[in-house]
Structure 1
Amino acid sequence: MTGRELIAIAKHVPYSVLKKRIKHHKGLPEVLPRLLFIRLRYKGVSVVKAADAVGVSGQTGYNWQERWNAEGFEGLVPRYAGGHPSKLTDEQKAELLELLREKDHWTTVEAQRLIQSHFGVAYSQDQVRRILKSFGMHYGKPSPRDYRRPADAETILKKNSRG
Structure 2
Amino acid sequence: MGRKWVYEVVKYLPVEELDEEIKKLEKDTRVFQRLYFIRRLCRGMSVEEVAGLVGVTKATGYAWLKRWNSNGYEGLIPDFGGGRPSKLTEEQKEELREMLKEKDSWTTKEVQELIEAELEFGVIYSSWQVRRILKSFGMRYARPYQKDYRKPDNAEDTLKTLDDAEIEDDVNRIYR
Distance 1:31 1:71 in 2: 14
Question: What residue in structure 2 maps to residue 66 of structure 1?
Answer: 66
Give CA-to-partner distance per residue, 1:4-43, whole Å, 9 cap, x none.
33x4211112223223433453442211110111122112
**Deviation of residue 119 (structure 1)?**
2.5
Contiguous gaps of at least 5 residues in structure 2:
162-176
Once the two structures are superposed, the pairs formed by residues 29-68 of structure 1 within 5 Å of their partners are 29-68=29-68
Say which of 120, 123, 126 aligns to 1:124. 126
TM-score (norm 2): 0.72
The amino acid across from 1:122 in the alignment is I
Q: In the aligned structure 1, how far is the partner of 2:124 from the partner of 2:147?
A: 32
Query: For residues 60 and 98 of structure 1, what CA distance do their matches in structure 2 show?
Result: 46
How many aligned positions are there? 156
Q: Is the 8 A contact 2:134 2:141 kept in 1?
A: no
Q: Distance in 2 between matches of 1:24 and 1:98?
A: 44
1:138 alignment counterpart: 140
Which aligned runs of 4 or more in structure 1 are off by greater than 3 angstroms? 23-27, 140-149
C-alpha distance in 2 between matches for 1:143 and 1:58: 53
CA distance in 1, matches of 2:148, 2:111: 25
After superposition, where does 1:57-136 map in structure 2 within 5 Å? 57-117=57-117, 118-136=120-138
TM-score by length of 1: 0.77
Which is worse superposed, 142-151 or 24-33? 142-151
Task: After superposition, give the CA deviation of every residue in 1:38-71 in whole Å (9 maximum; x if it has no partner).
Answer: 1221122222332232122222212211221123
RMSD, matched Cα: 2.7
Using the alignment, how far apart are the partners of 1:24 and 1:120 within structure 2? 49
Structure 1 stretch 141-150 or stretch 68-77: which is displaced more?
141-150
Other-structure match for 1:16: 16
Which structure carries more relative contact order (alpha carbon 8 Å, separation 6+)? 1
Question: Partner of 2:81: helix, strand, or coil?
Answer: coil
Identity %, equivalent residues: 50
